[in-house]
Amino acid sequence: MASASGTFPPGALVGLGEPRYRVQGPYAPEALVEGVSEGVGSRYTLPVGAVLYPVTVVPGLERLEVVEVLEAGQDEETDEELRARLILAWPALGRGSTYHAYVSWALEDPEVRKVQVIDDHPRGQGTVDVVIAPARGLPSPELLARVQRVVDERRPLTVNALVRSPSPRPLDLALRLHRLPGSPSLEAWRGFALDFLNGLNIGETFWPSRLMDHLHDRGGLEAVEVLAPAGPVAVARDELIVPGEVTVYE
């Protein structure tokens, strides 16, 4: 939202806590502005509707709202992830329809970071569901179509294989943090909590104790209280926990 028109100063930044974006060129009320992230990775991909605030002083600019993601951020594949993917590739060489073959085919797309194969005839005899997701959030129709084409090229003719999205399971999270001097801001800690939730796999249970360990590992905290949910949150094997309302108190 802008109350005046102008031009962004050189090096102007907007952000939401740690993820920050460079903006340039003119701005005005109701005008569209393109921003480029300072870093790389899926954590810089924001949902439509997210609000960014000026980091540097921009006269007449109060905030920006995300209306479209032009190019999603992707995490670099770690050495361990590459090793696991190569091991899974061996069963796929024979064009068989094993669990590991479907996982390997799905992971060939660099945007796919989570895979759950349901191979116990979920839709009737001879059916297999390949449930996929990117590093954050749910897969786009384009991603589903790409992976479906790969699977269709390699699956046995007698198998009905469906590549689909997991069912989202929104999780509202409330934390109270007891910070030590020099600890990051509450907004930064909220980002760390979001990183944990986005890192959960398809079918993975949310354990409050693991979130607490994740936050303590960063240092700067005396204690963490998980106010909500009250305990573990289990999900079905084709469900994926996605962040709902995440609030951090002090």
pLDDT, tens only, 76-123 = 667 777 676 666 665 555 555 688 899 999 999 999 999 999 999 999
Question: How many structural domains comprise the chain?
Answer: 3
Same domain, 160 and 177: no
Encode 31-51: b = buried (16+ Cβ within 10 Å), e = exposed.
eebebebeeeebbbbbeeeee
pLDDT above 90: residue 2: no
Q: Can you give the residue range of the structural domain that contains 60?
A: 6-66
What is the average pLDDT across 28-42? 84
Alpha helices for 165-244 (secondary structure H): 186-198, 208-216
Residue 1 lies in a domain: no
Do 134 and 203 fall within a single domain? Answer: no
Q: What are phi and psi of 224, to 5 degrees?
A: -130, 130
Instruction: Judge contact between 29 and 5, C-beta under 8 A.
Output: yes
Q: How far apart are the C-alpha atoms of 13 and 51, rounded to whole Å? A: 13
> Are 110 and 173 in the same domain?
no
User: Which one is predicted more confidently, 72 or 88?
Assistant: 72
Mean pLDDT in residue range 33-58: 81
Compute, in degrees rounded to 10, the torsion defined by CA atoms 218, 223, 229, 234.
50
Residue 82 confidence (pLDDT): 66
- Work out the end-to-end distance of the chain between its first and last CA atoms, rounded to an integer number of angstroms: 29
Is there a single domain that holds both residue 43 and residue 87? no
3-class DSSP assignment, residue 77: coil
Distance CA 144, CA 127 (A): 17
Q: How many CB atoms lie within 10 A of CB 222?
A: 10
Domain termination residue (choose one: 138, 164, 190):
164
